Amino acid sequence: MTHTLLLAVGFGLALATGAGGVLTLRLIPPGAGRAPALAALGLPPAILGFTSAHLVPALWAECAALTRPELAVVAGWSAVVAGSAAAGLISGLRRLLLAEYVLVRVPVLGGHPLVEKVKVVAGRLGVRTPVVRVLEVDRPLVVSGGIRRPAVVVSRWVLENLDEPELEAVVAHELGHLARGSYWALWVGRLLRDAAWYLPSGRYAFGVLVRDEELGADELAVSVTGRPLTLAWALGKVWAGSSGSLAAGLVGLLGEERDAGRLLEARITRLLAGVAGCRRSPAPVLAVVIQGLLAMGSWQLLGLAAEALPMLCRFGSF
């Protein structure tokens, strides 16, 4: 077996594992896919990493030296896999630091009843009370995040167009994100997706992760406010007023990729039905087990392929 064929085996296993992850995610009810989605995002890049480790000269068998034609293949593989991983990491760190830079420069909201309300809701959810900041734009915007100190950013539009119960509901949703650690889960998920952008499964798995972070935050918000219809109505008002590129850009920057129509419709539908979360189900555990088996199987197949390289090399098969 040549190095080229080994790389092809590794890439095929990454594609197969990604496809298996997508299939298992389709079995999971909305709101219960965080761990399976992160697993589906992480397993294919891990397989590619294990495959790439074979390109390290110190790990080669004596008879597994690269031939001249394979140098181009290995160089191309390294450029795509290692280059994409490095670019994804750099992009993720840049986004993280830029979001922090923007957050700390948004003015702190003072002397407003919302500040005390945030403190009360944060206490109920057991999270550190975030700083409340107000962005002076006439567009709906409510986001949360922060590295050193958590913050909730609301736009002037939100303060002026939502009544007190609606404002409490949307802020409770953002505090739900802080309680769940959505900021970091989405950052890791986006990093894995971008680092292996050429794998089609990544986009779907990340979409499931985004969906479940939103539904999970809705569930926590309703658990402390007890008013799912208020949150549904507030979401409708925010969506109706959303049209500014500034708000959309800041939302994406802070990691809240709310993919418009379908996700919002799903959230409002569940809230109107009085269901903010999902029923307990063995599906998430089963999905993680299936993906674990896929990973183990891929590891075994990749190991067999790597062992075959020096064996066939000795016989001069390639």
What are the structural domains of the chain? 3-88+281-314 (no CATH), 100-272 (3.30.2010.10)
| pLDDT for position 2 | 72
**Phi then psi dihedrals of residue 154, to 5 deg:** -125, 150
pLDDT at 314: 42
Give 75: exposed, middle or buried? Use CB within 10 Å, 0-12, 13-18, 19+. Answer: exposed
Give 286: exposed, middle or buried? Use CB within 10 Å, 0-12, 13-18, 19+: middle
Q: pLDDT tens track of the chain, all 318 residues?
A: 577 888 888 898 899 889 988 988 888 888 788 888 998 999 899 888 888 877 666 555 555 566 677 778 878 888 888 899 999 999 999 988 988 888 888 899 888 888 999 999 999 999 999 999 998 888 888 888 888 888 999 989 989 888 899 999 999 999 999 999 999 999 999 999 999 999 999 999 999 999 999 999 999 999 999 889 999 988 888 877 765 434 443 444 444 444 556 788 888 888 888 764 555 566 666 677 777 777 777 777 777 776 666 544 443 443
Distance CA 192, CA 41 (A): 6
Parallel, antiparallel or unpaired: strands 142-145 and 131-135 = unpaired
Q: What is the pLDDT of residue 122?
A: 92
Contact 290, 20 (CB under 8 A): yes
Helices 228-240, 260-272: axis angle to 10 degrees equals 150
143: left (phi > 0), else alpha (psi -120 to 50), else beta?
Answer: beta
- The contacts of residue 138 (CB under 8 Å, 6+ apart) are 155, 156, 157, 244
Predicted pLDDT at 191: 94
Strands 151-155 and 142-145, sheet pairing: antiparallel
CB 73 within 8 A of CB 224: no
| Token pair recorded at residue 51 | 């495959």
Phi, psi of 79 (to 5 degrees): -65, -40
Q: For tokens 């950013």, what's the residue? A: 153
pLDDT reported for residue 283: 63
Query: Do residues 31 and 277 touch, judged by C-beta distance below 8 A?
Result: yes
